Amino acid sequence: MLKRKMKISLLISTVFFLSMFLPYISVKAADSSKEIVEMNDLVVSINGKQVLFDVPPIIKNGRTLVPLRAIFEEMGAEVTWNPKSYTVQAHKNGTTITLGINSKIAKINSIVKKQLDVPAMLYRDRTLVPLRFVGEAFGGTVDWSEQDHTVKIKLVDSDSSSLLESMPVYLNNKLLHFTENKPIVKNDTFYIPMVEFLDNIPGDVYWSRNLDTLQTQVDGKIVNLYIGQNYISVDGKTVEISEAPIEADGMIYASLNTIVKHYGVQSYYVANDKEIKIYITREKFKHPFLQKETIIFSEPTNVVDTQFVGNRRIMVSDNPENLNARTVPEVYATLWHDDVQTEKSALDHRIFGWHINEFKQNVHIGITIENLSTTNELEIVDLKGAHRKSPNTWVNYDVGLPLAEYVLSDTMTNVNLKNSTVKQGETVLLNSFELQSKYTIGFSYDFTVKKKSGTGELKYRIRTVLSKNNIDLTTIHDDPVNIDETARHPRGIWSGSQLETELPPYEAGSDDISFQISNGRTDNLMSVENGIGDQTQMIRNPGHFGASYIVKIPIENNTGERKTVRVRFGARGGIYNAAIKYNGKVFLTPTLTPMTEVVNVVDYEAVSSKGLIELEIMHAGGSALPLAIELVTLE
């Protein structure tokens, strides 16, 4: 009797215990023996509106998982499913979240990885993810009531324009200090004050405002924004946008989504910390790379009869390359200068610089021009250029090659000077750069100096200057620092920034033949002897850094048949990179190992008795030269 009572009591207790979970249905997970409990009575609301599910939320391993699509779409996000990779993506306001089934990692804009408590899973053909993650993914806050079985997700108030008043915004992990205008939210969209944003992003950046138009340039890309208009202009082409720029307190704002799409950045919102993270992820190169292969080159012959073409004078500031207490002992210094005195009314210039900051602090480098005339005023016109910085040793690829690409493709950024006039005795800053410790900088700027008013010859001095204490760079008027004899990198001024040579005619069908350019002997136009100014302060530039090199190749075909002549490039001195222009198109070489690796540049179809191949080449600064050019007839 006692045993029967105990059995009945145990049965009643079991029934009572199970009755507590009647709202839930217990099933077995397909991929494990762990139990999944459906939560049919769980109520999820977003800003007070209940989310309707066609598959209920579940509990697995003590964690609540909810259907992703239903919640994200209620938040206003676009959701897509990739059946091949078993991944789901959600996009909203410039933030893209990617989740893989059975993965504990969520990727935010392909940059940030976020660890989940339990992996995303497929359940009844729906993607389920941890509740707190999906609630906070796009900036929401999650309030879970276990007693009422309710989850309240609150998103940013769409009518708020001051919610982000104190929210930190980071650019490349650097906190932006908004001086007057703060980020705002309007219609559930993040807006960033454009001037504050532009003043803090790296690269060659310039902007100006004209009434309701904000004209911007970032690394040569021109983007114009128009207040209240659902379109922008990108490099002269009209592009539709979903969120029109707005004006607040006299400042033009653009949506984070517009910035992400058209300024080459990525962003995401950190809900726990209430932060906006923005990362610059612009493509380094805009032109295609040539394919390289391993081939033994024929023995090259040096080119002859090289000459300067054009009239753009070049100043190369590459010595001292290593900026340290030995080479630059003072707090500020002139690195190099060009003294100009001419009866011409205008003169074209190129300033090419290459320096490494070995100080344990940031330094400032600038390009200045001082008007030494007492009888006329100068005007700076058509100032454009580019600069690149890198903390690593791959400076050919990270610094020199982008500069070569910008120059050959004529996509350097136009610099809008606040005052392009240089009065008598005045010094004007053309551009300046902050260089972090252990960073390498390369820069190339073209401009024209012309007489604006007055009489007499042009007389002025162009300088590259350095300051360790952030003084006004226009006050630095010292003579250049001494040459660094331990690292004899180029320094000097020469009459041209473009060279030209013509190879002997190549007969299609004949044996392979090679020629060397920038060999430092037969085409050494940038020697000390050819330099302008004080030659005792110059170092030759046999690699022609900062200059471009035109190579003309006459082709003769007397076979009576169509022949294909291939032009190959190969490094002869050290690892090599370059930009190449042919028929108006620009191509880039990958890093070439000397003597063994080549790129095929042109396959020229010789259909007549005479033809011409014309190439323009710009070596990536830091390359080891010479460069060999091989001609071969393909069978």
Residue-wise DSSP of 256-290: HHHHHHHTTEEEEEETTTTEEEEEE---S--SPBP
For 407, phi then psi, to 5°, come to -65, -50
DSSP 165: T
Distances (CA, A) of 623 to 439, 462, 471: 18, 26, 34
Q: Give ∠ CA 430-406-537 in degrees, rounded to 5.
A: 55
Type and span of the H or E element at 68: helix 68-74
512 Cβ partners below 8 Å, 6+ apart? Answer: 298, 630, 631, 632
Residue where the block lists tokens 């915004």: 169
pLDDT value at position 274?
Answer: 64
Cis peptide before 626 (omega within 30 of 0): yes
- The closest alpha carbon to 32, from 118, 111, 139, 131, belongs to 118
N residues, the chain = 635
pLDDT value at position 114?
Answer: 76
Instruction: Tell me if 350 sits within 8 A of 314, measured CB to CB.
Output: yes
pLDDT value at position 557?
Answer: 93
**Cα separation of 441 and 398, whole Å?**
10
Report CA Rg, the chain. 33
**Cα separation of 426 and 20, whole Å?**
87
Instruction: Tell me if 430 sits within 8 A of 447, measured CB to CB.
Output: yes
The torsion defined by the Cα of 316, 322, 325 and 327, in degrees rounded to 10, comes to: -40
pLDDT value at position 256?
Answer: 81
**Cα separation of 420 and 376, whole Å?**
14
Residue where the block lists tokens 């005795």: 425
Q: Give ∠ CA 237-402-444 in degrees, rounded to 5.
A: 95
Query: Regarding beta strands 346-357 and 312-317, do their DSSP bridges make them parallel or antiparallel, or are they unpaired?
Result: parallel
Strand partners, 460: 340, 371
Distances (CA, A) of 50 to 38, 42, 70, 625: 18, 10, 11, 69
Instruction: Tell me if 579 sits within 8 A of 403, measured CB to CB.
Output: no
Strand partners, 553: 613
Q: Which residues of the chain have pLDDT under 70?
A: 1-34, 93-95, 109-113, 139-140, 156-167, 172-173, 179-181, 187-188, 202-203, 219-220, 249, 264-274, 279-284, 393, 622-624
The torsion defined by the Cα of 175, 173, 140 and 183, in degrees rounded to 10, comes to: 40
Cis peptide before 320 (omega within 30 of 0): yes
* 240 CB burial (10 A radius; 0-12, 13-18, 19+): exposed
- The closest alpha carbon to 484, from 282, 266, 615, 317, belongs to 317
**Cα separation of 124 and 332, whole Å?**
70
Distances (CA, A) of 11 to 3, 21, 101, 177, 628: 12, 16, 40, 67, 91
Residue 569, both tokens: 């490039």
**Cα separation of 635 and 629, whole Å?**
19
- The closest alpha carbon to 461, from 563, 602, 336, belongs to 336
The model's pTM: 0.65
For 456, phi then psi, to 5°, come to 90, 170
For 469, phi then psi, to 5°, come to -125, 20
